[in-house]
Amino acid sequence: MREDHYWPDWDSDNERTEQVIGPRAAPEFLAEEPLDAHEDALAEELLDGDRITRGPRSPGKRLLGKVLMVTGGVLALGVVLYTVDLVLSAGEVPRGVVVAGVDVGGLSRGDAESKLRGELEPRLSEPVPVVAGDVRASLDPTRSGLGLDWPSTLAQAGHQPLDPLDRIRSFFTKHQVDVVTTVDPDALIQSVGRLATEKLNHPPTEGGIGFRPGDGTGVTPYAIEPREGQTLQDVQDAANLVRARWLDKTGVPLPVVFTPVKATSAGVHSALDNLVQPAVAAPVVVHGDGADALLTPVAISRAMRFAPRDDGALDVSVDPATLRDELQPQLAPTEKPGKDARIVFNGAGPAVQPSEDARRIDWTETLRPLMAVFVKTDGRDLPVQYRGQKPKLSTDDVNALGIKEIVGEFSTGGLSGAAATNVQAMAAKVTGAVLKPGDMFSLRGRTGPYGAGFVPAAVNEDGTGPTVTGGGVSQFATTLYNAVYFAGLSDAGHTEHPYYLDRYPLARDAIAIRDDGSPVDLRFTDDLAGGIAIEAYTSGSTVTVRIWGTRQYRVESGTGSRTDFVAPPIQTAPPGCRWSAGSPGFSAADTRVLYDLTSGTEVRRTTRTVTYAPRPAVIC
């Protein structure tokens, strides 16, 4: 049965006509040549001898046809290439695979293993580079228990991807694959922990400035760069990273926790360039009244101090004490030392020696403009500023103390030999001491160590005991204690002899030195209404101490009987020793009563009980 197809056509007058074509006249549109714009836009094609008359086609339709044809061609080509690539790479390591820095992508499994062994085996015993913050270090893989599992490492590389996009990306990207490591976990943890402690961890270093010796008195400053502190974040995590990446040529990066610093490198160099270098470029001349001092660059550098600020800058200052220690000896002649008022004894009673004001360097005002002088290239001069200084004890202060009469006096005898020399030296140090009401006197504080003026002597006043420097001075301590006792002053601490010496009153003795030569203090307080002065001197075998002031009390002493006797032990000593009968030990009490001098009424009563040890009897 015949099918007739009708196709529209236009005649020359643009009127539609119809052409009947047979079954073989199915339209098959071929590529068209562009039509001339002046033509009648009639296109004729002959297909298998049949005539098809078509009207004009729009440009958009022609373009769409071309795009569809090109797209189809590209897709067809892609399918062909994908198939070829899949066939050719079958069984190979995927493209772009990199194992420990070795590119094995596209190789067969056997070739990949050979390449890895060739590249990595020499590195199995080489130190493992580690990067942690600003520190580069290394681990010994053998001591750290590290080895390589070759089959498992290659298995991690994976298989050929089937996704076309993954295959396309493999031409342009690299895929890092970690090695599979055999490891001794304990050895690795210990190695990483030891490395962190010894090399990776470090405290922060604040920025600063140091100095190197230069020529003569010169110095060369240099910057101490700031450095953040760091601590390995986690030893176990670090060990895991080493295990996975230990064969990377670039090293194993380990995370650390940073401790920030304040100063920046720019802040340090700004202080170095703008202040420190000019400061130590030349000396500074300090002009005093009648004498000059030189502040050398070395001395300036020793006094400089640096402190970081929160804004990154570095503060520069100088230590006044260091500068004063450098300048004081040079400028000492320009100062005038002051003098406290003193009580002197000339045989007719106490006399006041007037005080003198001091003239001292005012170091604060003198050094205040120093930082401005440091930045000068010339005119590096600094004038000294002075100030007056009142004495601690002025003439008026002493005159107001009411020191006019003896309020307490005591003497002891029996001095001889080296002990007498020591007692005389102590008396010279103590005489002239002045106390205001409320002041406390310290014998040890007044005399200091038993050095210059003291000689070796038997420690005990009777010539017994070991020989020590200052031996025998306890006789002065006992004499001073009794003078204070009768002046009505308050005892602030003293120590009796370990055993009784019959040259002293019972329970009213004191020591100033021990058998090993160490000093023992004696203290008392001026609790009178006025001040006091101490006069002490030796004459022949006697030492006397007087307390001067204004009498306030009448003092009585009552001594109790001896009790609780202890017989002396007997000691046998080798020939040549000194025989001694010894003495028993016992206890005794003394009571001091103070009466008001004006009213005669009792003011205070104090009892002190003393226990003396027995002295051994020595048989030679």
Residue 353 main-chain phi, psi, to 5 deg: -95, 120
The mean per-residue pLDDT over the stretch 327-348 comes to 90
What is the spatial distance between Cα 620 and Cα 617, in angstroms, rounded to a whole number?
A: 10
The mean per-residue pLDDT over the stretch 513-522 comes to 94
* 162 pLDDT more than 50: no
Q: How many CB atoms lie within 10 A of CB 363?
A: 17
* pLDDT for position 164: 63
- pLDDT confidence bin for 465, thresholds 50/70/90: confident
| pLDDT top residue among 153 and 139 | 139
Q: How many whole angstroms from its chain centre is CA 28?
A: 94
**Single-letter residue type at 599:** S
The mean per-residue pLDDT over the stretch 283-300 comes to 95
Query: What are the residues whose beta carbons fall under 8 Å from the beta carbon of 570, sequence distance 6 or more?
Result: 582, 616, 617, 619
Q: Which of 18-22, 93-97, 398-402, 616-620 has the highest mean pLDDT?
A: 398-402
* 37 pLDDT more than 80: no
For residues 450 and 519, the answer to whether their CB atoms sit within 8 Å is yes
**Which class for 6: exposed (0-12), middle (13-18), buried (19 or more C-beta within 10 A)?**
exposed
Dmax over CA atoms of the chain, in Å, equals 173
Q: Which two tokens stand for residue 286?
A: 């300090």
Per-chain mean pLDDT for the chain: 84
For residues 40 and 64, the answer to whether their CB atoms sit within 8 Å is no
* 327 pLDDT more than 60: yes
For residues 387 and 289, the answer to whether their CB atoms sit within 8 Å is no
Query: What are the residues whose beta carbons fall under 8 Å from the beta carbon of 70, sequence distance 6 or more?
Result: none
CA distances from 373 to 364, 367, 510 (A): 15, 10, 60
Query: What are the residues whose beta carbons fall under 8 Å from the beta carbon of 534, sequence distance 6 or more?
Result: 430, 431, 432, 433, 434, 441, 480, 545, 546, 547, 548
Q: Which two tokens stand for residue 353?
A: 């020696």
**Single-letter residue type at 182:** T
Specify the pairing of strand 617-619 against strand 570-572. parallel
**Single-letter residue type at 488:** G
Q: How many whole angstroms from its chain centre is CA 335?
A: 38
- DSSP letters of 275-315? IIHHHTSS-EEEE-SS-EEEE-HHHHHHHEEEEE-TTS-EE
* pLDDT for position 160: 52
Using alpha carbons, select from 47, 180, 6, 154 the residue that is nearest to residue 94.
154
The mean per-residue pLDDT over the stretch 332-342 comes to 92
Domain boundaries, the chain: 5-57, 92-261, 278-338+352-389, 401-619
* pLDDT for position 232: 95
Quick check: helix, strand or coil at residue 259?
Answer: strand
- pLDDT confidence bin for 19, thresholds 50/70/90: very low
* 218 pLDDT more than 80: yes
The mean per-residue pLDDT over the stretch 164-180 comes to 62
The mean per-residue pLDDT over the stretch 350-355 comes to 91
Q: How many CB atoms lie within 10 A of CB 603?
A: 14
Q: How many CA atoms lie within 13 A of 180 on its CB side?
A: 9
CA distances from 208 to 192, 213, 272, 309 (A): 32, 17, 9, 11
**Single-letter residue type at 200:** L
Q: How many CA atoms lie within 13 A of 254 on its CB side?
A: 34
Residue 371 main-chain phi, psi, to 5 deg: -60, -35
What's the chain's length in residues? 620
Q: How many CB atoms lie within 10 A of CB 584?
A: 16
Q: What is the 3-state secondary structure (H, E, C) of 30-95?
A: CCCCCCCCCCCCCEEEEECCEEEEECCCCHHHHHHHHHHHHHHHHHHHHHHHHHHHHHHCCCECCC
Quick check: helix, strand or coil at residue 242?
Answer: helix
Specify the pairing of strand 381-383 against strand 284-287. parallel
Quick check: helix, strand or coil at residue 416?
Answer: coil
Dihedral sign from CA coordinates of 319, 325, 330, 334: positive
Query: What are the residues whose beta carbons fall under 8 Å from the beta carbon of 194, sequence distance 6 or more?
Result: none
* pLDDT for position 170: 53
- pLDDT confidence bin for 173, thresholds 50/70/90: low
The DSSP letter of residue 217 is T
- pLDDT confidence bin for 620, thresholds 50/70/90: confident
CA angle 461, 464, 468 (to 5 degrees): 80
For residues 537 and 465, the answer to whether their CB atoms sit within 8 Å is no
For residues 562 and 609, the answer to whether their CB atoms sit within 8 Å is no
For residues 221 and 210, the answer to whether their CB atoms sit within 8 Å is yes
